[in-house]
Structure 1
Amino acid sequence: MNFIDLFAGAGGLSEGFIRQGFEPVAHIEMDAYAAQTLKTRAAYYYLKENGGLDVYHRYLKNLITRDELYQEVDSKVLKTVLNREISNQSIDEIFQTIDESLENKQTSAVDVLIGGPPCQAYSLVGRARDPYNKEHDPRNYLYQQYVKFLEKYKPKLFVFENVPGILTAGKGKLFEDVKRIMDEAGYDIEARILDASMFGVLQKRRRVILIGWVKGTGLFYPDFDNYNHKYLVSDILNDMPALQPGETRDFIYNAYPSDYLRKHGIRSDDDILVQHISRPHNDHDREIYKLAIEQWDKEKKRLKYTDIPEKNRTHKNITAFLDRFKVVARDLSYSHTMVAHIAKDGHYYIHPDIKQLRSLSVREAARIQSFPDNFFFEGPRTAMFTQIGNAVPPLMAESIAEKILQILENRIERQIELSI
């Protein structure tokens, strides 16, 4: 089975499909750093398949450059990543590149299309700040570009991911249009709001997962079992070396991996700790972090902005956004939602250890999103956080991919039985 990933970001959704044996035909992503991350991940899988992981590990240890890493990889693999914006002006060229990739794989058929347009345009916060409710934002209409790929490649099935706000944007009219043009393209669809915590991700993260299939094929939206467990957020933090703000400590873990990390493929025995990078913080913010941690540890209460002594406040607004400072509680089963705002400051993602008084490191944030430790994010620290915050958690993606694979394989078996 193969797939095309649109608006691919850092590749969280793609990661899940690759783990289930799907082969990428193309990843299309407009952000240069995210596209570089996709290339490096493609290099990882190529080297893993061809017995060259020692080369990848040398890259992680800064012993070779990225160009030297890529020299060890088949150029056709790297060319499957297209750093392009999907628009009316670029789409024909993108189609041409995808056609060449399909030809290299000696096929003309695309099994699955995955991806979701940038979601800020549909977010409730985004709409609250826009007096026109985002109706003039061009990102609202990127789903129309998505449908052009359905019309061109006619995949058997597609997965379209987005924030719940897409269902209510424009008083529901926008989503009605989404359904209409997908119907006109020849697909039955169903959309459900799923939470990443259902799939073993230690994070509460609600997303719309829309699945569509070619009309008349008998395909359907799969049911997902709720993943019950006794793990805590501490299971993804306890083996990480302590950091002070602005510090980086790579290559050596602080302890053996927890059962959670092993079981879910986040850390294995041969992994190398990388990108355990903490952003700098001033003393003023660290005082507030201390208050937030103490209040959680002693009372299990979240710090409100009005709880902060007046001398420590920097905002005059004490009626809205009162939860600006939030501890990632290690004694809960789930973290709160990881979003791209973590790239701007870490106030909403305070590390629970009062001795460190910092926000989460890049690697800790990636773990909350269920990215494996061997997943390397390209770009400066801010770009890494943005990629992580925007991603689909790979564990969630893998569960979806597993069900999609079962559905498609069962269909093939039925077709074989009918032909005998």
Structure 2
Amino acid sequence: MCLTFTIRQVCEGIPVVRDTDHLFLELPLLKEKLEKYIDEASATGSWSQNAVRITDAWLKEGLKPRCITRDLKWGVPVPHEKYKDKVFYVWFDAPIGYISITACYTPEWEKWWKNPENVELYQFMGKDNVPFHTVMFPSALLGTGENWTLMKNISATEYLNYESGKFSKTKGIGVFGNDAKATNIPADVWRYYLLSNRPEASDAAFTWGGLQIKHNNELLKNLGNFIYRVLSFIAKPEGAGYGSIIPEAPNADIHPLSQSLAETIGNLIQQYIDAMDKVKLKQGLKIAMAISSEGNAYLQESQFWKLYKQDPASCATVMKTSVGVVYLLACLLEPFMPSFSKDVLQQLNLCPNEHISFADEKGESDKAKRPWDLIPSNHRIGKIVPLFTELKDDAVGSFRETFAGSQAERNARAN
């Protein structure tokens, strides 16, 4: 039989009602300016549906004066003699920190925060923080009468749960920052899984099985496999490969398979640009990975290993086209997996600071429609190593057990 004891600290004193004086943000006086801002920003910017819905609910309920001080010891003190024993309410003070931290970084902070004609502000958060960024913070800025850069684009997520329940720091359920680092799973694997599983339209769940599947099937067998096959073949000595030198593509303009791939990739990159412009990060990542899948299919259909002896010109075209796709993937995936992108560019022996521009002034992606032209012929690539290693069942099982709950609770359950 297992007994569980919960210890609570209870104050023995009698509650006392006290008068206190607080500062309020007079939201009703800012109603007209705020509604005008919300109507314009939500129409011209990219607002997630939950951000629109939550903001509308606040407006329909009616704006009320909002208390911005608290009778607490911890926090940012109010710089006023009458309120020197109070601190600011965190969600009044915290957004102002966006501006102050910029001012700490550079004395030219007004180029970002007082330049709405030339600066677009994007904000990302969980849905429970939406009203502080679409109602309270804009109201505080509008109330000053100054020309502030106001938030135009907001991407708010739903909730991320853990396995079959919820994350809980107090109970030790779930994986948090230091825990994730301690697993030795590369940071970019975490980034990929969480972004591909991002709860943009509905709640999602972190599961160890899901992480393993995403890693082994999508990163290792799809993305990693494509890049390694291309670069390792080019790196083979002459007679079996190209001695690490990128060959010319003599018949790319008349090679049907390469032309078909280029058209498909061009369309996918246009979709990628559209998704990213609309802050559809999950969709953008999915499209980038679809390009990797197209690359794998292209390699298989071309049977480049046979062409090397039977049709050298076509093999060279396939390899130069494929290495261009590798470069495209490094660029497209950099916002999601920066370390991965850096590693790929290093293996390509390319400068990480020099990326191609996928779109012209009209938003069209012409360069991507000729992947064989992205890296020059006779360019020497670097050392080739696999980018991902398999995440095995025993490791996943160990992580699942480790993060199932606090040690004390696990011991209690075992008894």
Fold-level match, TM-score > 0.5?
A: no
Compute the TM-score of the two structures, normalised by the length of structure 2.
0.22
Larger relative helix fraction: 2
Which has the greater radius of gyration? 2
Higher relative contact order (CA 8 A, sep 6+): 1
